Chain A
């Protein structure tokens, strides 16, 4: 995730720059949305009209695409994004229990962010790490054989809130 500031004007400048760079690609909408989410961590709904104008699409078409794909989000994520695989291979190795544990440990449900803003918890359907289920992904790192204890130590290593409290 980039460090672009959160001012609406800067967001607009950013998206215009991205559109200018990518608009000539055939089927440019997904590459543009990807770049935007890479930079900001999410796709601000206020930018949809700008993208629509830039690509000569309707706002409805852009909204339709953003909302179709699970990966694109319309609100900022927490500092860390944790994905827990819910698919069959991980189920066979106890991911149902891990899901329950994770939601309890972070005190939030799937698609929510923990109260301290540290963790956004997401479900994912297969990380291709099925030889070492259950699998969890944090950012671009994948972890294998994750049980409750390993999950807790992962979270502890990532968490900064304790430091901030002190």
Chain B
């Protein structure tokens, strides 16, 4: 009989791997084989403490302990220290993982298993509460499932914050022999990666959410529309779907019931606009990703003209815990009309970048300072863009705003999908405003004029203003253009591009003066 092997966890997540986690796993395996070490590598997902990646964990009697960052150049020395014999004797020892302050101060509901389990191990998933929500749902009537989601207060986590339960109710109430569930996994916002983490680190939670949604509204077919830029998520999701089929969680007679549901992964092809739900449906139908006019709502006439639930990854991955623990439990978190938690993603020029799942109601400053720890460059933080490329740039005077959908709308900003991108004082806000218009021009689907043409004119106007060409008149024109785009665009792409532009103009007007510009600023520190 061989002695029990100690588990050593090496994350397999895009960001951990971008810092060398795969290489670290290879080297550790070589050490294990060469020296017959009593270790067994488990590839978990990432806990989302990205400044510590690659963060390794060892199983001990007290629980899992962490070390990080163990980059490929440090792994030989790490293995030489033989931490599995005496765990706390290493300079990069971080103590019990669960006790790391950054994790301990979070409220991880949707992300409870992320980084803990081996992503495609059904056994791990079930041992950590997986499929408890589905079991509950299978014993409920469709209306009761929908009501539970409505009562939980869950709102669409893709960014639009529309109540998930109301969307489901519309699909449930629309009679049709064919209904669809579509998961929007086209996470294109810069500064966001929470969908990616769920798909790479806990894919079964998304599958479980999809199955429950299908059960609730009476759909028998679902699609996950995943962006092409996420190759690891594609691999993990496809594996999870195979495992789910092989174990009776997808296909016919799910979990012993008489309910059937088929699920397929589809890939996007590098179009930001396909994150807009109607554009995504067009793309799934094999067409150009051009936005549709609404109404009809997708809930009434969606994919192939049938009633369709379109939900973001985080919304769907949150459904299982709502069903498992009850609407009231989820309701208890949050503030005002924002119930539950939002996984915030700290990005850009920030010292402690990572995933922070918090109940609504903390302030942006709590995130930036208590969690983020200031800038990575060490220079003063000057602007923060919240909510992706269509979100406002916020100056320090607005950082005390509560992280709450309505509080952000009040200051002409959006919380969106929870991305928080920090900039230090080397940022030139006229360049950022120009980029917002440029990005809209590159990614516009071209269907409506305000977005297609307005974005091109917007770039030209900002260039003129910054070059000192009739800045007063051109500023009036730019504001007029923003007004037109905001009010006359077909979808949020053109409609919200003015948000970052106007916020830059309003709060950082000095950057649009002729003698400003990058030449007079300190150079950015990479």
Chain A residues within CB distance 8 Å of chain B: 26-31, 33-34, 55, 61, 64-65, 68-72, 85, 87-94, 96-98, 124-135, 137, 140-145, 147-148
Q: Is the Cβ of A88 less than 8 Å from the Cβ of B289?
A: no
A-B contact pairs, 10 of them (CB 8 A): A27-B286, A34-B269, A85-B190, A88-B191, A125-B188, A129-B15, A130-B193, A130-B345, A130-B353, A143-B18
Q: A65-B286, A94-B524 are in contact. Are A131 and B231 (CB under 8 A)?
A: no
Distance of A90 Cα from B15 Cα, bound (Å): 14
Q: Does B404 contact A (CB under 8 A)?
A: no
Nearest to A34 among chain B residues (CB) is B267
Contacting residues, chain B, for A148 (C-beta < 8 A)? 526
- Chain B residues engaging chain A, CB cutoff 8 angstroms: 14-15, 17-19, 48, 50-51, 53, 187-193, 195-196, 228-232, 266-272, 283-290, 304, 345-349, 353-354, 376, 385, 389, 419, 421-424, 427, 431-432, 435, 439, 442-443, 445, 523-526
**Contacts between the two chains (Cβ within 8 Å), count:** 169
User: Which of these, B15, B229, B268, contacts A137 with CB under 8 Å?
Assistant: B229
Q: Which residues of B contact A125 (CB under 8 A)?
A: 188, 190, 272, 389, 439, 442-443
> Which chain B residues border A61 with CB–CB below 8 Å?
287
Question: Which residues on the B side are within 8 Å of A129 (C-beta)?
Answer: 14-15, 18, 193
**Interchain CB contact under 8 A, A89 and B14:** no
B19 to chain A, nearest CB (A): 5
Q: Are A132 and B19 in contact (CB under 8 A)?
A: yes
Bound: A141/B427 CA distance, A: 29
User: Of A92, A96, A98, A145, which is within 8 A of B348 by CB?
Assistant: A92
Cβ-defined contact, B348 with A93, below 8 A: yes
Contact between chains at B269 and A70 (CB < 8 Å): yes
CA distance A108 to B14 in the complex (A): 28
CB neighbours (8 Å) of B354 from chain A are 131
- A72 near B19: Cβ-Cβ < 8 Å: no
Contact check: which of A68, A130, A137, A144 meets B271 at CB < 8 Å? A68
Of residues A90, A140, A142, A143, which shows the largest number of chain B Cβ atoms within 10 Å of its Cβ?
A142
Q: Say whether A131 contacts B188, CB under 8 Å.
A: no
Contact of A145 with B19 at beta-carbon distance under 8 Å, contacts A128-B192, A130-B419 already known = yes
Asked whether A92 lies within 8 Å of B422 as measured between CB atoms, the reply is: yes
- Residues A92 and B421 in contact in the complex (CB < 8 Å), given A27-B285, A140-B231: yes
A144, B473: Cα distance in complex, Å = 43
Query: CB within 8 A of A28: which of B195, B272, B286, B523?
Result: B286
Which single residue of chain B is at the shortest CB-CB distance from A125? B272
Chain A minimum-CB-distance residue to B195: A128
Q: Inside 8 A of A88's CB, which chain B residues have their CB?
A: 190-191, 348, 385, 389, 421, 432, 435
Q: Is the CB of B347 within 8 A of A130?
A: yes
Which B residues are CB-close (under 8 A) to A71?
228, 268-271
The answer to whether A87 touches B269 (Cβ under 8 A) is no
Cα distance, A34 to B268, chains bound together (Å)? 9
A144 engages B228 (CB within 8 Å): no
Tell me if A33 and B191 are in contact (CB < 8 A).
no
Residue in contact with B190 in the complex, picked from A87, A143, A144, A147, CB distance below 8 Å: A87
* Seed contacts A65-B288, A130-B191, A130-B421; 5 additional CB < 8 Å A-B pairs: A69-B270, A70-B269, A89-B348, A92-B427, A97-B524
Q: Which of B286, B419, B421 contacts A30 (CB 8 A)?
A: B286
Query: Which residue of A27, A33, A89, A142 contacts B347 across the interface (Cβ within 8 Å)?
Result: A89
Chain B residue contacts of A137, Cβ below 8 A = 229
Query: In this complex, which of B195, B286, B419 has the most chain A Cβ atoms within 10 angstroms of its Cβ?
Result: B286
Contact A92 B304, CB 8 Å, known A125-B188, A130-B192:
no
Q: Which residues of B contact A85 (CB under 8 A)?
A: 190
- Specify the chain B residue showing the minimal Cβ separation from A139: B231
B353 touches A131 (CB 8 A): yes
CB contacts (< 8 Å) of B349 on chain A: these are 92-93
A30, B267: Cβ atoms under 8 Å? yes
A27 touches B526 (CB 8 A): no
Enumerate chain A residues within 8 angstroms of B290, measured Cβ to Cβ. 68
A130 to chain B, nearest CB (A): 4
How long is the Cα–Cα vector from A161 to B144 in the complex, in angstroms? 65
In the complex, what residues of B have CB within 8 A of residue A64's CB?
A: 288
B188 pairs with A126, CB closer than 8 A = yes
Tell whether, in the assembled complex, residue A69 and residue B271 are in contact, meaning their CB atoms are under 8 Å apart.
yes
Q: Which residue of A lies closest to B355 (CB)?
A: A131
User: Which B residue's beta carbon lies closest to that of A88?
Assistant: B190
Q: What 9 pairs between A and B have smallest CB-CB spacing?
A: A94-B526, A87-B190, A29-B286, A92-B348, A71-B270, A69-B269, A130-B347, A131-B50, A144-B18
**B304:A131 contact, CB within 8 angstroms:** no
CA distance A91 to B435 in the complex (A): 10
Contacts of A87 in B (CB 8 A): 190-191, 389, 439
Chain B residue with the shortest CB-CB distance to A32: B286
The answer to whether B19 touches A144 (Cβ under 8 A) is: yes
Residues from chain B with Cβ under 8 Å of A143 in the complex: 18
B221–chain A nearest beta-carbon distance, Å: 9
Complex contacts, A70 vs chain B, CB 8 Å: 269-271
Q: How far, in whole Å, are A30 and B354 apart by their CA atoms in the complex?
A: 34
Of listed A31, A65, A131, residue having the most chain B CB within 10 A: A131
Determine the residue in chain B with the shortest Cβ distance to A126. B190
Q: Which of B18, B266, B286 contacts A142 (CB 8 A)?
A: B18
Task: For residue A93, give the distance in angstroms from its CB to the closest CB of chain B.
Answer: 6
Contact between chains at B287 and A65 (CB < 8 Å):
yes
Interface centre among B191, B195, B345, B347 (most CB of A within 10 A): B347
